[in-house]
Chains A and B, each alone.
Chain A
Amino acid sequence: MSRIGSPGAVVMTAIVGAIVAVALFVVPADRLQGDAQRIMYVHVPMAWLAYLAFFVTLIGSIGYLIRRDLRFDRLAAASAELGLLFTAVTIVTGAIWGKVTWGIWWDWDPRLTTTAVMLVAYAGYNLLRGSIVERSRRARLAAVLGIVGFANVPIVHFSVLWWRGLHQAPTVVRPGGSSIAPVLGLVLLASVVAFTIAYVWLLRRRMALESIRDATRSHLESVS
């Protein structure tokens, strides 16, 4: 298992740090929004990673229900925790961006509201996990919730197309091609890749921690 100061951690921090530095100081500011638009290089990757993390939770949940292998449960649990973190960061960075561009921290816009509902749903997932001591029961119930909870993801993603609101429609992946300036799009893509690498690293560490917990629990049970 890698440690905080391990080469992997250093490389991961360097990649994310370099991309954030490029986004803050190198890439030109947006013509209309100015420097406020730079928050996009964190906001968009966080939103994408929240989707990815909850998709991995879905895969882990299905895997557990089919195979009854705790490794799938660890994958689902670790990814759901990270997804919750990414969703929270998405909401916070979105609120800051909204205050600058819309003049308000929060609006009852479909995208914002459905994202908040998704946050509460996955907070519930983590609460459920924490409330059940018996290992296989926890894994079984969390797996069902991990599958049901994923229904939030397409609702959040397509909310900007299904209902009219303040939040802009997709600008990168959309019919008719991307409408973002090539340089900004390239930095955004690099930022998404960098944060995804960070997600994979954190996911592996969190799974390893859960594995140690399970081993410790099994050992204590066998001793007692």
Chain B
Amino acid sequence: MTLAGDALLLAGKDLRIEGRSRAALAATMTLGAAALVMVGLAAGPDLAQLRSLAPALTAIAVLFASLVMADRLDAIDRENQALDGLWLCLADRRAVYIGKVVALTALLSALTLALWAVALVLLDVAGGPALAGLAPLVVVASASAASATALVAALVGSGEQRALLLPVLLLPMLVPTMLASVNGSRALIESDLPSAVGWVAVLAAESALFVGLGLLAYETVAAPE
């Protein structure tokens, strides 16, 4: 098998497991929606203010929900020492990383689009036809977040401080992704398509950078304990 073939096989495995249990999507969707309701309540009933804050609030809700998603997806391979088996049988172990990035991108995209649907209603976001551009923006932003998340999740391993280390190490890395994603979605809400395309390009560059880094470092950080 090639690297790409192995990676797609592993991504398919993760997505099939999630498709059958729906555990991660259900939990993260509930967490993200609850976060949006809470920030809406905290910010107060001023609709104009909520509308202007919508991209940032949604990005924060997605960020925290995605931490849970990453944790869940990584746990699949760590339960019953499944990763040890994968490590022994794969010719190119970077396939585990690529597979994780692909699966995480798909799940984060679904989660983010669902949370945007909630945000459009709760935060009263009125967008023009340019809002259709949200889907490609979300996919590229998810790919950027997934490529960093898969690497950091492997780095923190399964130690008892994982719950603390994952956000502490990951959130600083995701700052550029969060900023580009907020600015891109704001541009779409304001129907500023050229600016949105620019932010999609920034996110694509960030994804490429993180994937390159992941390919270089994954085997070093993810070798079973």
User: Considering the chains assembled together, what is the distance between the CA atoms of A165 and B221 in angstroms?
Assistant: 37
- Our pick among A132, A140, A145 for the contact of B169 (Cβ within 8 Å) is A145
User: Considering the chains assembled together, what is the distance between the CA atoms of A145 and B155 in angstroms?
Assistant: 9
Q: Chain B's nearest CB lies how many Å from the CB of A82? A: 19
Q: Mark B137-155, 1 if CB is under 8 A from A, else 0.
A: 0000000000000000001
User: Considering the chains assembled together, what is the distance between the CA atoms of A121 and B156 in angstroms?
Assistant: 14
- Which B residues lie within 8 Å of A130 (CB)? 161
Confirm or deny: B172 has a beta carbon within 8 angstroms of a beta carbon on chain A: yes
- Which B residues lie within 8 Å of A65 (CB)? 220
Q: Chain B's nearest CB lies how many Å from the CB of A15? A: 35
Residue contact B172 to A134, C-beta cutoff 8 Å: no
User: Considering the chains assembled together, what is the distance between the CA atoms of A130 and B156 in angstroms?
Assistant: 12
Minimal Cβ-Cβ distance residue in A for B169 = A124
Q: Chain B's nearest CB lies how many Å from the CB of A91? A: 15
Task: Please tell me the size bucket of the interface on B.
Answer: 10 to 19
- Which B residues lie within 8 Å of A121 (CB)? 169, 172-173
Residue contact B172 to A127, C-beta cutoff 8 Å: no
User: Considering the chains assembled together, what is the distance between the CA atoms of A120 and B155 in angstroms?
Assistant: 17
Task: Please tell me the size bucket of the interface on A.
Answer: 20 to 34
User: Considering the chains assembled together, what is the distance between the CA atoms of A65 and B155 in angstroms?
Assistant: 15
Confirm or deny: B159 has a beta carbon within 8 angstroms of a beta carbon on chain A: yes
- Our pick among B155, B160, B171 for the contact of A141 (Cβ within 8 Å) is B155
- Our pick among A120, A127, A131, A145 for the contact of B171 (Cβ within 8 Å) is A120
Confirm or deny: A189 has a beta carbon within 8 angstroms of a beta carbon on chain B: no
Q: Are A128 and B220 CB-contacts (below 8 A) given A134-B225, A145-B155, A148-B213?
A: no
Minimal Cβ-Cβ distance residue in B for A122 = B172
User: Considering the chains assembled together, what is the distance between the CA atoms of A144 and B225 in angstroms?
Assistant: 16
Confirm or deny: A180 has a beta carbon within 8 angstroms of a beta carbon on chain B: no
For chain B, residues 174 to 221, give those with C-beta under 8 angstroms from any C-beta of chain A. Answer: 175, 213, 217, 220-221
- Our pick among A128, A140, A144 for the contact of B165 (Cβ within 8 Å) is A128
Residue contact B159 to A137, C-beta cutoff 8 Å: no
Q: Chain A's nearest CB lies how many Å from the CB of B218? A: 10
Confirm or deny: A123 has a beta carbon within 8 angstroms of a beta carbon on chain B: yes
Residue contact A128 to B172, C-beta cutoff 8 Å: no
Residue contact A120 to B172, C-beta cutoff 8 Å: yes
Minimal Cβ-Cβ distance residue in A for B175 = A117
User: Considering the chains assembled together, what is the distance between the CA atoms of A168 and B171 in angstroms?
Assistant: 27
- Which A residues lie within 8 Å of B160 (CB)? 131
Q: Chain B's nearest CB lies how many Å from the CB of A7? A: 40
User: Considering the chains assembled together, what is the distance between the CA atoms of A124 and B152 in angstroms?
Assistant: 11
Q: Chain B's nearest CB lies how many Å from the CB of A62? A: 12
- Which B residues lie within 8 Å of A118 (CB)? 172
Confirm or deny: B126 has a beta carbon within 8 angstroms of a beta carbon on chain A: no
**Top 10 A-B pairs, shortest CB-CB distance:** A131-B161, A121-B172, A124-B169, A124-B168, A117-B172, A120-B172, A144-B217, A131-B159, A144-B221, A117-B175
Interface, chain A (partner B; CB < 8 A) = 65, 117-118, 120-121, 123-124, 127-128, 130-132, 134, 137, 140-141, 144-145, 148, 152
Residue contacts A-B, CB under 8 angstroms, 16 given: A120-B171, A121-B169, A121-B173, A124-B172, A127-B161, A127-B165, A128-B156, A131-B156, A131-B160, A131-B161, A132-B157, A132-B159, A137-B225, A140-B221, A141-B157, A148-B213
